């Protein structure tokens, strides 16, 4: 089984798939509430609890984490946000190592989408394209909608974690075919 993580400072997507790519778990760990999660370490502790729950339920063989952003792009994250994202990504990476005793592998979001056959047309938002791709191509992937009929915010993080897990599965298959 493969664990895919889309680590974020607000909502972390968590997916577990089996060797056939079937979804066993596809959830979000929502740490947006500043009252309950006033610090990065409180958020990490909540994510740690979810990882422990996964370890107790599933026999995880491989773990893949979406690589955190490494550079600035106009109109996107600030230096402070990139720094915070790198911190939480590092903390979660360590937690994965501590809990599962496995070193995670990192996949850039663009590489993960490519491995899953998802093409993002120029000018379109990647998260929306990924979500629509999964809704159109995977009947087992479902989301909730707001009153305004928009996907709930966690839908995008769940989708991204599933793409990371499936890209990880493809990497495993490619490695096995070479051996």
Question: 68 and 47 in contact (C-beta within 8 Å)?
Answer: no
Q: For 45-76, how does the pLDDT look when each residue is reduced to its tens digit (9 = 90+)? A: 999 999 999 999 999 999 999 997 554 444 55
Rounded-to-integer distance, Cα 89 and Cα 53, Å? 19
Q: How many CB atoms lie within 10 A of CB 126?
A: 16
Residue pointed to by tokens 């370890």: 55
> What pLDDT, on a 0 to 100 scale, did the predictor assign at position 77?
59
DSSP 146-163: -TTSPBPHHHHHHHHHHH
All structural domains of the chain, each given as residue ranges with its CATH number in brackets, are 2-178 (3.30.420.10)
pLDDT at 69: 59
Q: According to the model, what pLDDT value does residue 178 have?
A: 79
Q: How far apart are CA 139 and CA 128, in angstroms?
A: 17
pLDDT per residue rounded down to tens, the chain (179 residues): 999 999 998 999 999 999 999 999 999 999 988 898 888 899 999 999 999 999 999 999 999 999 975 544 445 556 777 788 888 899 999 999 999 999 999 999 999 999 999 999 999 999 999 999 999 999 999 999 999 999 999 999 999 999 999 999 999 999 988 76
> Could you tell me the CA-to-CA distances from 112 to 24, 39, 66, 79, 119 in Å, in that order?
19, 30, 8, 24, 11
């Amino acid at each position: 089984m493969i664990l895919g993580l889309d680590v974020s400072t607000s909502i972390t997507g968590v997916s577990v798939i089996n060797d056939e790519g079937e979804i066993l778990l596809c959830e979000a760990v929502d740490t947006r509430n500043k009252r309950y999660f006033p610090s990065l370490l409180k958020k990490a502790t909540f994510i740690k609890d979810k990882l422990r729950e996964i370890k107790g339920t599933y026999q995880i063989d491989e773990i893949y984490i979406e690589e955190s952003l490494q550079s600035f792009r106009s109109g996107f994250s600030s230096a402070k946000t990139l720094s915070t994202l790198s911190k939480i990504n590092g903390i979660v990476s360590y937690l994965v190592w501590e809990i599962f005793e496995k070193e995670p592998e990192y996949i850039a979001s663009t590489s993960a989408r490519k491995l899953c056959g998802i093409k993002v047309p120029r000018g379109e938002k990647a998260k929306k394209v990924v979500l629509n791709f999964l809704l159109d191509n995977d009947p087992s992937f479902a989301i909730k909608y707001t009153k305004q009929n928009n996907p709930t915010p966690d839908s995008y993080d769940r989708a991204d974690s599933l793409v990371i897990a499936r890209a990880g599965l493809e990497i495993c298959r490619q490695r096995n075919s070479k051996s």
